[in-house]
Amino acid sequence: MQLRRIGDSQVSSIGLGGMPMSIEGRPDEARSVATIHAALDAGVTLIDTADAYHLYADEVGHNESLIAKALATYGGDTSEVLVATKGGHLRPGDGSWTQDGSPAYLKSACEASLKRLGAEAIGLYQFHRPDPKVPYADSVGAIRDLLDEGKIRMAGISNANPDQIREANDILGGRLVSVQNQFSPAFRSSEPELQVCDQLGIAFLPWSPLGGISNAGDLGSRHAAFATVAQAHGVSPQRVCLAWMLAKSPVVIPIPGASRPESIRDSAAATELVLSAEEIASLDATS
């Protein structure tokens, strides 16, 4: 598995997104644990989660607890695994997603995540989404405090624009290590954020890289150019999509979600797929 850098950590160039294992349509726990173990077997050492990846109001942190359990029951070495969680989003249990970016909330959410993950410090803590009710500097200031207090080892942000990336990095005193934004064949408007990350040497984690849970299976029929390149290599269009992202910049680390071992095994193999300049140009040009 090719490695890439997040702050002072070397992680697999393909991460595992935990969301499909905890929200609507999720599998039973045994299949989720098998999926996480399959990712670890394939050399994946970055797992993305959030306290808000749960279904019902009374099970905040469902996905964090699942990941903690899967890591604890894995037979191999997990010392190099970086668990990246987030705070600032909430799910009241009616299917909606709400926000709270207040410093007091973020600090209490981080404490709760820390307990669920059973770690001394959270490896990477990401501010999930700017809250329009709270000045961005206040929310990021809380993340800086958590970093200074040693509750979190590294700090990231998500759903940020280029100005917010620069502002967050300034507030954190140059210690911003990652930006997680939506990026996929159908959603390319995060190119400017990717470029800022590339310039600053900050990891860029595309979320819903395959188009999201309900669209990922149809990637090849939605985007014919990906199916064409996939056919030429005898691999899946999803694998081509991830290899295309990896080729964009050394700071890119996609985090495809999975709820089945086969999905993450196939995605992890994207790290070995080399596309030609012509193929990359054809995928860049397609919509």
Which residues carry out catalysis?
53
Least distance from ligand NAP to the Cβ atom of residue 212, Å: 5
Of the pair 9, 267, the CB lying nearest ligand NAP is at: 267
User: Which residues are within 8 A (CB) of 15 and not within 5 positions of it... i.e. 6 or more apart?
Assistant: 44, 46, 47, 48, 84, 205, 253, 254, 255, 256
Sort 130 into a burial class: Cβ within 10 Å, 0-12 / 13-18 / 19+: buried
Least distance from ligand NAP to the Cβ atom of residue 270, Å: 8
The CA distances from residue 180 to 86, 103, 124, 231, in Å, are: 10, 20, 12, 30
Q: Which of 7, 20, 61, 185 binds ligand NAP (CB under 6 A)?
A: 20
Task: Determine the Cα–Cα distance for residues 124 and 41; give it in Å rounded to an integer.
Answer: 22
Site string for ligand NAP, 58-97 (x = CB under 6 A): ----------------------------------------
Work out whether 211 is an interface residue with ligand NAP (CB under 6 A).
Answer: yes
CA 197 to chain centre: 15
Query: Please, what is the angle between helix 29-41 and helix 62-72, to 10°?
Result: 60
Of the pair 278, 287, the CB lying nearest ligand NAP is at: 287
Return the residue matching tokens 């070495």.
Answer: 77
Q: Which of 13, 32, 164, 180 binds ligand NAP (CB under 6 A)?
A: 180
Of the pair 19, 165, the CB lying nearest ligand NAP is at: 19
Task: Determine the Cα–Cα distance for residues 152 and 154; give it in Å rounded to an integer.
Answer: 6
Which residue, judged by CB position, is nearest to ligand NAP in the bound state? 257
Count of residues that interact with ligand NAP, criterion CB under 6 A: 30
Site string for ligand NAP, 234-273 (x = CB under 6 A): --x-xx---------------xxxxxx--x--xx------
Question: What is 126-149 written as a DSSP string?
Answer: EE-S--TTS-HHHHHHHHHHHHHT
Q: Which residues bind ligand NAP (CB under 6 A)?
A: 17-20, 48, 129, 158-159, 180, 207-213, 216-217, 236, 238-239, 255-260, 263, 266-267
